[in-house]
Amino acid sequence: MSALTTTAAPSDRAAAPARGLLRGMSWVVWRRNRTVLPLLIGVTVLFAGYCVYLHGMLADFLASPQAAAKPGQLLPQHEERMGTAFLLLAFLPAILGVFLGAPLLAAEQEHNTLRLVTTQSVARLRVVMTMLALPLLVVAVSTALMSVAFTWVWRSVDTRYSHGNWWTSDVIATTGPVPVALALFSTAFGILAGAVLRRAVAAMGVTFLVLVLSAQVLKERAPEYFVTFHQLTYPMGGDAPELKPGEIQVDNWVGSADGTLHGWGKCVLMTEAESDACVKKHGIVNDVIDYVKLDQLPGIQWSMTAVLLAMAAAMLVATVFWMRRKSL
């Protein structure tokens, strides 16, 4: 055999299957993220399996006499296991933003990898677009599958979990299309922070702080901007009408005969005589309740999704523009 004859090294043969679906820059990007992306896919598979198990357990409960004995409720163990799934989906966007998005470009710039790649007859725009596209595709598909699986579970007990309180729990941000939009928004912000700061640790820190604050605002303030509240009016001091399952009280007021609303405490922190005079002065005759219905949830979620996706797209465009203009 000629001295120039060579045999493929075992490592080359082992790497060959990994290139089956990914080639060129896509394969390079996958290799550079070979810890985070496979881990995300693995978590997706495990979470989907957990949802199947959870749905079966809840179906057994709903068919049992215990369910009839506890209308509008779940057993504590069911609440706990549902809560575990809610917790994962609530924290997942921030995890993706910090550990996938922030280092994605920052680490490459720190180690001058991008500069090296662009000297190998590969256009800078193509490199950046590929580095963004593959991770974002994996994020979108994985979070979509997890959201579909968990929404299927939650819908089976939507008026029982947390006593049917979908408004102030994590339901809005962890079911339907919102988890996908949140994950893309968080990852896009991390990518932009990494591109601008050019230091992975700094980008991860900034991303963490911003996403934690954003999640708090999203949960506590954002939904009310995407919904019109229903109102119930009843005589002041009378018994409030009972809301139906899935209907959640959001706020309460006092109202005058002409329909003017006043804050619930307007005439409360006074002596009895002062309170009576205040009520008479403002003509207050009714108590008023603001509430939302469960069938309003999809509209809230799709509106929030549209805003989050628009913001994510804007950040990705800004990232590409920044990377094209700045020297590597």
Give 16's pLDDT tier (boundaries 50, 70, 90). Answer: very low
Q: Is the pLDDT of residue 33 over 70?
A: yes
Query: What is residue 12's predicted lDDT score, i.e. its pLDDT?
Result: 47
In sequence order, what are the beta bridge partners of 255?
Answer: 261, 286
Phi, psi of 12 (to 5 degrees): -65, -40
Q: Domain ranges in the chain?
A: 22-226+297-325, 230-295
Would you say 101 and 95 are in contact if contact means Cβ atoms under 8 Å apart? no
Q: How distant is the alpha carbon of residue 237 from its chain centre? A: 41
Paired tokens of 114: 């991008």
Paired tokens of 211: 């996403």
Query: What is residue 43's predicted lDDT score, i.e. its pLDDT?
Result: 97
Using one digit for the tens of pLDDT, what is the confidence trace for 68-121?
Answer: 888 889 999 999 999 999 999 999 999 999 999 999 998 888 876 665 555 555
In angstroms, the CA 290 to CA 37 distance is 44
What is the arrangement of strands in the sheet containing 284-292, beginning at the earlier edge strand?
230-235, 284-292, 248-256, 261-263
Phi, psi of 61 (to 5 degrees): -65, -45
List of residues 6+ apart from 232 with CB closer than 8 A: 240, 241, 243, 288, 289, 291
Would you say 302 and 180 are in contact if contact means Cβ atoms under 8 Å apart? no
Percent of the chain scored above 70 by pLDDT? 88
Residue 189 backbone zone (phi > 0: left; psi -120 to 50: alpha; other: beta): alpha
Residue that the structure tokens 């005759």 belong to = 285
pTM of the model: 0.86
Would you say 72 and 181 are in contact if contact means Cβ atoms under 8 Å apart? no
Residue 65 backbone zone (phi > 0: left; psi -120 to 50: alpha; other: beta): alpha
Could you say which DSSP state residue 228 is in? -
In angstroms, the CA 10 to CA 7 distance is 9
Query: What is residue 114's predicted lDDT score, i.e. its pLDDT?
Result: 61
Would you say 262 and 286 are in contact if contact means Cβ atoms under 8 Å apart? no
Using one digit for the tens of pLDDT, what is the confidence trace for 286-323?
Answer: 999 999 999 999 999 999 999 999 999 999 999 999 98
Query: What is residue 169's predicted lDDT score, i.e. its pLDDT?
Result: 81
Q: Is the pLDDT of residue 8 over 60?
A: no
Q: Are strands 284-292 and 248-256 parallel, antiparallel or unpaired?
A: antiparallel
Query: What is residue 298's predicted lDDT score, i.e. its pLDDT?
Result: 96
Strand locations in the chain, DSSP E?
Answer: 230-235, 248-256, 261-263, 284-292
In angstroms, the CA 52 to CA 48 distance is 6
